[in-house]
Structure 1
Amino acid sequence: MLYLGLKYLHVIAAIFLFGFGMGSYLYLIAASRTANPQVIAHVARTVVRYDAWITTPAGFIQIATGYWLVSLAGLSLTTGWVLTSLIIFLCVGMLWLPVLVLQKRLQHMASSAADRGEGLAQAYRRVYRQWFWMGVAGFSGMFVIVSMMVTKMTPGEWVGLFLS
């Protein structure tokens, strides 16, 4: 029963991590497309808040429950799909802090422009592009991790299936 409870918590945390993360990402993209500093400032403030309150804690829950599940299942952390998912999770996690910092900068830049009654500066677009492509990389990694959790296989093993 402990294993199933942990697995449930692990899956729910993954849904929150992925779902809130993707929702925040898409909302800030949509807001940025308006080029309206007031809209962007409001959405960015909300995105930063939810990423801090929901997405980040879900990531820590993922780490704790994942480790516990691996231990209870009698698996080694060096099992192919486990190790690969950990490496990708750490890489995605290393993108997370810079993404949060960039989101906060986007919020500040949009708020400043709105307060001055001006449009967005070129610097906003530069920071936005960095943030956007870091998001693409991070979510690509998350897609791979979820696929490994479901299949219990590494991407190399997937390729082997298709080639055989």
Structure 2
Amino acid sequence: MRSLPSSCSSPLTRRAESRAPPFLSSRARRLAAVTVFVVVKFIHVLLAIVAVGFNATYGVWLGTVARQPTPVQAFVLRGVKRLDDWFANPAYLLLAVSGVTMVFLGGLSFTTFWIAGGIVLWVIAIILGFFVYTPMLRAQIRSLDANGPESQDYRSASANARFVGIVLAVIVVVIVFFMVTKPTL
């Protein structure tokens, strides 16, 4: 049987072991603690799939309807905003919760390069997403409704939102790279 990783000796893991039924062996208690970590990691990966997956579709949707009539463009823009507000953004926030939980459960350190780098990039992405991209998307919708898709105002709003979206995508790809490869310095 495989031995348990050394990361299973964190204070939270020991606490989880101590709460396990007394009839379980110490190995079974450690396995129960590892199972909690694995469940949180599974949730973390699902949240990343939702957040990154939804975001990855925005450019496809917006590019597909770029030459469609105004009502179609407005419908898709509002759909992108709804996906962002109801699914992607909440998933990004919950990723922080599950990520911090894994650091504690796994006995990891916030000063580990890939964790610290991921957190810094996540904070930058959250700030850009909530305080730059979301307002730009609202402005893009307002401009489309008021001026139409051929107006300079709408084209400018669209170009700005596209640029910020690309920057966010690059940041998120780097975060995913850090989480998958776990590089060290």
| TM norm. shorter chain > 0.5 | yes
TM-score between the two structures when normalised by the length of structure 1? 0.85
Give yes or no for contact 1:40–1:107 (8 Å, CA) kept in 2: no
Q: How far apart are 1:121 and its partner, in Å?
A: 1.1
Give yes or no for contact 1:24–1:51 (8 Å, CA) kept in 2: no
**CA separation of 1:151 and 1:139: change in aligned 2, threshold 3 A:** same
Q: 2:136 aligns with which of 102, 124, 145?
A: 102
TM-score between the two structures when normalised by the length of structure 2? 0.76
Q: How far apart are 1:80 and its partner, in Å?
A: 0.8
- Structure that is richer in helix per residue: 1
| Separation in structure 1 between the aligned mates of residue 112 and residue 151 of structure 2, nearest angstrom | 49
Counterpart amino acid of 1:125? R
- Higher relative contact order, chain-length normalized (CA < 8 Å, sep 6+): 1
In the other structure, the counterpart of 2:91 is 58
Counterpart amino acid of 1:137? V
Q: Percent identity?
A: 27
Give yes or no for contact 2:50–2:91 (8 Å, CA) kept in 1: yes
Q: Is the aligned partner of 1:83 residue 2:120? A: no
Q: How far apart are 1:99 and its partner, in Å?
A: 0.8
1:22-37 equivalent positions in 2, closer than 5 A:
22-31=56-65, 33-34=66-67, 36-37=69-70
Give yes or no for contact 1:99–1:131 (8 Å, CA) kept in 2: yes
CA RMSD of aligned residues (A): 1.5
Q: Tell me the SS of whatever aligns to 1:34.
A: coil
* Runs of 4+ residues over 4 Å off in structure 1: none
In the other structure, the counterpart of 1:3 is 37
| Separation in structure 2 between the aligned mates of residue 54 and residue 42 of structure 1, nearest angstrom | 17
Q: Is the aligned partner of 1:49 residue 2:82? A: yes
Question: For structure 1, which runs of at least 5 residues remain unmatched after alignment?
Answer: 158-164
Question: For structure 2, which runs of at least 5 residues remain unmatched after alignment?
Answer: 1-34
Q: How far apart are 1:119 and its partner, in Å?
A: 4.8
Give yes or no for contact 1:41–1:108 (8 Å, CA) kept in 2: no
Counterpart amino acid of 2:37? Y
In the other structure, the counterpart of 1:12 is 46
